[in-house]
Structure 1
Amino acid sequence: MAKVNFTSHGVQVEAKNGESLLAVIRGAGIFIDAPCNGNGSCGKCKVKIINGQVNCSKSNHISEEELAQGYVLACCSTVNGDVDVEIPSTADDAMHNMKIEDLGGEKEKIIFKEAIEKLKENGIKLGINIKKSFLQIPEPTLDDNISDVDRLIRQVRNTLGCGNVQCGLSVIKNIPHILRKNNFNITITYIEEENNINIINIEGNDTSNKLYGVAIDIGTTSVAACIINLNSGDIIAKASSGNAQIQYGADVINRIIYAGKKDGIKKLNDAIIKYTINPLLAKMYRESSIESHEIASFVVAGNTTMSHLFLGIQPDYIRMEPYIPAFLSSPYIKANELGVDVNPETTIYLAPSVASYVGGDITAGALASGIWNSEENVLFIDLGTNGEIVFGNREFLMSCACSAGPAFEGGEISCGMRASSGAIEKVEIDKNTYEPKIQIIGEEKPIGICGSGIIDLIYQLMVAKIIDRRGKIVKGLNTPRVRFDEHGMGEYILAFKEEYNIEKNITINEVDIDNFIRAKGAVYSGISSMISSVGMDFDCIDRLYIAGGIGNNLDVESSIMIGMLPDIPRDKVKYIGNSSLIGCYLTIMSKEAKDKLEEISSGITYLELSVEPGYMDEFVSACFLPHTDIERFPTVKQLLGE
């Protein structure tokens, strides 16, 4: 056995000689970014060997200079004796310093308010079946010596006039102590359905004004959560972070593959509950002075794979033809069954999915957007690690999922990264000098470029005629920003290392551009194929709603000009925030909204693009800037003078 000392974390573990360094890091409970799940293709699991040595395979992601400094890829290295390892701080940034929209900002408050108003306009009433009541219970005597539980049930029936009263084991355990500590003056939290009452919490004295719920959006890359005052509807605490599962792969396919490994499903389940959701809950509890037992409602939305992993259910068959998930609608589950740090009797409601690749985040988003009751034709796109699309109106709803891959989160891009501190998020290029002007998250030194920045960059490169419409870099330009290697591979240098005093140049090369063109092509071809399948064209789109993490910083003009979105009037396009989280919020605040959510999920028709006739031809045509058919993009045609 060898000793592996992680100097950056103060952790030392034992490992077998020949064991993968990536596996050792994961086994030590240390977070490391590994978007490709260890197949060596992304180059993100870079570590530095301080003392000792490892056996490592050569990688194009490690330069000779970096190799001389001790840098290796953890996934391409195996333990070979005692070794000291340093994990760069940027690995932790990928999890904890990710830029996620501010749920408490004025813009987001307006978005939540608009969602409530839209719900009311569509005839959905606010109102929930979770309530609290203060009870003054007669103390026991020798003449009235029934059990504490029977005494409580009797008083509930007398006070609330109900028939059947139930309470769970965790409530029963607390009853004797709480009754006597508070002189039999207590508050119960209960779920009321018809003539039945299920008591889920018991507290001392009158706390009937404290009734809270939690809404959570589980994204493939990031997780957002908020605590809601169920009496007023106010959001009183919010938190967000990266999804700790990203260390097991950037996309759902890599995570499904990892779930099939030994203890894989448990590790993925722990990553989302123990290492992501529970820490977010703890943070919100501290900020709001709320205790976990006060949470009476809990609604979660995520894509179909995230829903499976949240419940600890094997998702393996989602990725295998004919692409069958284990479930679409989950049963009611108590929080203590999953280890979620809220009241153990609280019911966890998981937004229902539509199909293997269209999940509860989309049904929740469809609810929030109001597309289900729209007289206009609405195109709804959730842009993130997965591209999910809904098109329709009050008469019909179609959906599909495009396999865009992780490019929108910086994956498969040599200097790509998620939207965290140091990421370049906006780019402008002077058409005459070819010099860039960049905007950096956190206004720190640049260390990479995120999805919104890549979209801007490719658009700017195209307009400045640094790249042609195939994405190839033009030769013969008079600028030091453009270089070609010995194989003729071109690259554009966005930030020189000397310019910002950073470790290496930040560049985008022709392989990166090609990867991103395929990702944007997948989105466009998905939209085109789905709209064509119902006998319509882009002129039929009355509204285009964009949701998802990347949508918050997305430049609509750049997105249209590179051919990711259809060339429609810009005033039809609107960003609607984290629609998945908003949908969860609405579901918490309205039982009718929850019923409508169930109706939406069962009413959406799913289009499987992989078997759709003509889809592959459409995709290939879209892998161009902006498209092989320039007539589809009259704005771009005019700009380029073609």
Structure 2
Amino acid sequence: MDCQVIFQPSGRRGTVKKGSSLLEAARKLGVDIESPCGGTNCCGKCKVKIDEGYVDELSAETHISHVSQLTENEKNMLQPQEIRENYRLACCTQIEGDILVFVPEESRSTQQVVLETGKDRVLRVNPAVRNYFVEMIPASLEDHRDDSERLKAALLDRYSHLDKELSIDYTVLLSLPVIVRKGKWSVTATLWKEQVVVALEPGLVEATYGVAVDVGTTTVAAYLCDLTTGKVLQQDSMMNPQIRYGEDVLSRITYGMDDDNGLAILHQTIIEGINTLVTRLSKAAGINVEQVAEMVLVFNTAMHHIALNINPCYVGRSPFAPAVRKSLDIKARDLGIRIAAGGNIHCLPVEAGFVGPDNVAVLIAEEPHKQEKRRLLIDIGTNGEIDFGNKQRLLSTSCATGPALEGAQIKFGMRAAPGAIEKVRLDPVSLEPQYKVIGEADWFQPSQTIKAKGICGSGIIDIIAEMFKSGIIDPTGKFNMQQTSRRIRRDANNKPEYVLAWSEETSIGSDITVTQGDVREIQLAKAALYTGAKILMKKWGTDQVDSVTLAGAFGSYINKESALVIGLFPDCNLDNVVAVGNAAGDGAKIALLDKDKRVEAQEVADFVQFVETAVEPDFQPQFVQAMYFPHGKDTFPHVQHILDTIPTVKRSKLEAL
């Protein structure tokens, strides 16, 4: 039996099978509801409200009885007031009749602010794809050669360095007779690696194009490049459309395993996303997508397998072995990517189970393997990747930071989108906050247009650091309820929280708070990063770093002093802590423009040593110490002047004496 469902305020409607969850219905009808856990009933972000009454569009009543009974999970995650007002969690609630569902603002996926740019780099132009113009000998009754032989002969006669075993892609053969005659036997052949004709155009065509794509777990960034000049013509980005199936890679692997068509759905979803970006880039540049002859893809290992339609389930199981490590060249048509049909898709190599081509891209962009300094590179994301070392020895690892640093698993956390609180500072005496919202140029003013909706990752780091510095939380992360401030209170479940924004300052009609649970989530995330870095340093044989490089969008927006104060990474001179933007995207562009860098990428992937930190004997004690702010044992000379002013730190030192 089918049931009618309408989602408001989007107005999306359709029929779904009785027994489907509201989250499944939303996915089917294209309604993006926040579901960081991928529908595993553990994040509480997919709140929706069941409306009651007669609905003209349904020609029927909608009622709370048209969905399944409230679950224990929902009773634990929803406030009593929300339950009375017919709020439910979309992932827990099955449809049993015609229904009208309202998606509140805090549950709607919004357009994230995506960082596409990296840092300025000198790029060498030596692409795998080049254009070659030739004037062919016209066919005649005396010359019985076929068109393909004429083209090969013309190319080899004029360009002696080309591969003697030159071949022509099948898709080029389909249009070859028409194109050579349209060009009056003068054509421009696009060759890949001087071996294969992958595209053909009539007359002289100088420019050839390629696209570099960084497929992140949360975001996808793409760059259209002129392969003759090395210039980036256009860049664009989007939320990874797979996000509706889970915020982290394990959620998506689970979805791929549990749903009969899960892998196919995930694969097709990201391919459609890439095609959308290529279409938008091409349109903006005034070219056809068929003029794009090559693409370079970078991603983590799970995203790599899903994008290539390879079963990723074994990447998520010990010993986390990928299906393939080496770099790959695949025909665009085999993946369904809409560029030149004969075009090439190059994927950089995989390092290890959870350290993928995106980390290799960071390495060929930043080149720590060519330097004397001991560099710590951290690409902060849902799956954090860490590299440490220099040209003598380079180590890498991955750590499950989880999506907390990107706003998920935080009560009022959200992605970096308009309305997200991105910067915070507290008065150390009054404990009153100042904050800045994305979309507004200035710090909060009562008259501002965009009201606060939640807190994004950079804001979360700031508020936790500020709460620690002002003594609201102690080094263990516990709230100090002796502080006298109206903003420090207990919630309906008697748990401590800090009110960052009052309800009248928000667009969601409720106070935005930072809870004890939020503090614990950040402790877990930062402890994972810190422990990974320390184990690599110990393996390398040092307890110091010369510099810290923060890659990725998150690293570019966080306050590095706040990050060091809470112990997000080991102590370092803040002057030597730098953010390099989307270094993975930069590495993808570098590999697109310089084929020699692809060789280097494979060499670096073979050179770097992967360390499985979780199996190290001292992992657990290291992790426990890293849970403290900034750390249980390690010193932080470069922010000690700040730590010395913190009331709870002073008190704990006195108690220790």
1:308 match: secondary structure: helix
Alignment map for 1:264-413 (pairs within 5 Å): 264-274=262-272, 276-413=273-410
The match for 1:119 is: none
Give 2:562's aligned amino acid: S
What is residue 516 of structure 2 aligned with on the other side? Answer: 510
**Alignment of 1:98 onto 2:96:** no
Specify which of 67, 74, 80 is matched with residue 96 of structure 2.
80
- 2:157 is aligned with 1:158: yes
2:522 is the counterpart of 1:521: no
The residue type equivalent to 1:409 in the other structure is E
User: TM-score, length-normalised on structure 2?
Assistant: 0.90
One-letter amino acid of the structure 2 residue matched with residue 544 of structure 1: V
Paired position in structure 2 for 1:132: 131
Q: Which amino acid aligns with 2:46?
A: C
Pairing partner for 1:561 from 562, 565, 578: 565
CA drift at 1:627: 1.4
The yes-or-no answer on 1:216 pairing with 2:232 is: no
Q: How far does residue 84 in structure 1 lie from its aligned partner after superposition?
A: 2.0
Residues 170, 31 of structure 1: alpha-carbon distance in 2 compared, 3 angstrom cutoff: farther
Matches within 5 A, 1:389-468: 389-443=386-440, 444-468=450-474
Unmatched tracts of structure 1, length 5 or more: 117-124
Q: Secondary structure at the match of 2:27?
A: helix
2:447 equivalent in structure 1: none
Q: CA shift at 1:92, angstroms?
A: 5.4
Aligned partners of 2:641 and 2:318: how far apart in 1? 40
Quick one: which of 606, 612, 616 aligns to 2:610? 606
- The secondary structure found in structure 2 opposite 1:216 is strand
CA distance in 1, matches of 2:462, 2:76: 26
Structure 1 counterpart of 2:596: 592
Q: Tell me by how many angstroms 1:157 deviates.
A: 2.5
* In 2, Cα distance between equivalents of 1:620 and 1:316: 30
Q: Please say if 1:179 is aligned against 2:187.
A: no
**What's the offset of the Cα at 1:575?**
1.0
Helix, strand or coil for the counterpart of 2:201?
A: strand
Residues 630 and 606 (structure 1), Cα distance of their counterparts in 2 relative to 1, 3 Å cut: closer
Deviations 1:388-431 (A, max 9, x none): 11011111110111121111111111111111111111101111
Q: Look up the match of 1:228.
A: 225
- Secondary structure at the aligned position of 1:245 is classed as helix
User: For 1:639, what is the secondary structure of its paired residue?
Assistant: coil
Q: CA deviation at 1:191?
A: 2.0
Which of 182, 186, 200 is the equivalent residue of 1:202? 200
Change (3 A) 1:59 1:548: farther
**1:485 and 1:292 mapped to 2: Cα distance?**
54
1:48-93 deviations in Å (ceiling 9; x for gaps): 3333332243344433443444432110110011112234466554
1:415-456 CA-to-partner distances (Å, cap 9, x unmatched) read: 111111111111011112211111111122111101111000
Verify the 8 A CA contact 2:125 2:228 in the aligned structure 1. no
The structural deviation recorded for 1:636 is 4.9
2:148 partner letter: V
Structure 2 segments unaligned to the other structure (5+ residues): 52-61, 441-449
Q: Secondary structure at the match of 1:132?
A: strand
Cα deviation for residue 182 of structure 1 reads: 2.8
SS in 1 for 2:460: helix
Give the whole-Å Cα distance in 1 for the aligned partners of 2:101 and 2:493. Answer: 34
**In structure 2, how many angstroms separate the alpha carbons of the residues matched to 1:597 and 1:628?**
38
In the TM superposition, residue 486 of structure 1 has moved relative to its aligned partner by 5.6
Alignment equivalent of 1:471, drawn from 477, 491, 496: 477
2:262 equivalent to 1:256: no
Normalising by structure 1, what TM-score? 0.92
Aligned equivalents of 1:139, 1:89: Cα separation in 2: 66
SS in 2 for 1:508: strand
Q: What SS does the aligned partner of 1:227 have?
A: strand
Distance in 2, matches of 1:253 and 1:374, equals 35
- 1:483: Cα distance to partner? 1.1
SS in 1 for 2:477: coil
Q: Aligned partners of 2:166 and 2:104: how far apart in 1?
A: 56
RMSD of aligned residue pairs (Cα, Å): 1.9
Deviation of residue 6 (structure 1)?
Answer: 3.0
Alpha-carbon distance in 2 for matches of 1:5, 1:317 = 38
1:327-370 Cα offsets, whole Å, 9 max, x none, are: 12243101111111211211111111111111111111011112
Question: Which residue identity does 1:311 align to in structure 2?
Answer: L
Distance in 1 (CA, whole Å) between partners of 2:522 and 2:342 is 46
2:44 is aligned to 43
> Alignment partner for residue 489 of structure 2, among 480, 483, 490?
483
Residue 171 of structure 1 aligns with an amino acid whose one-letter code is: V
Residues 520-577 of structure 1 show CA distances to partners (whole Å, capped at 9, x for unaligned) of: 0111111111101222102xx1121110120110111000000111122111111112
* Equivalent position of 1:499 in the other structure: 505
Cα distance in 2 between the residues matched to 1:505 and 1:75? 25
Question: 1:191 maps to which residue?
Answer: 192
In 2, distance between residues paired with 1:273 and 1:245?
10
2:120 to 88, 112, 117: 112
Letter in 2 for 1:363: V
Q: Distance in 2 between matches of 1:436 and 1:564?
A: 22
Distance in 2 between residues matched to 1:344 and 1:201, nearest whole Å: 8
Q: Specify the code of the residue in structure 1 equivalent to 2:490.
A: F
SS of the equivalent of 1:568 reads: coil
Specify whether residues 473 and 223 from structure 1 end up closer, same or farther in structure 2 by C-alpha distance, changes over 3 A only. same
Q: CA deviation at 1:143?
A: 2.4
CA gap of 1:87–1:341, structure 2 versus 1, over 3 A, is: farther
AA of the residue aligned to 2:619: Y
Q: Distance in 1 between matches of 2:496 and 2:632?
A: 22
- One-letter identity of the residue aligned with 1:286: K
Name the SS of the counterpart of 2:614 in structure 1.
helix
Residue 487 of structure 1: how far off its partner (Å): 4.7
Letter of the 2:113 counterpart: K
What residue number does 2:57 align with?
Answer: none
Runs of 4+ in 1 over 6 A off after TM superposition: none
- Give 1:479 deviation, angstroms: 2.0
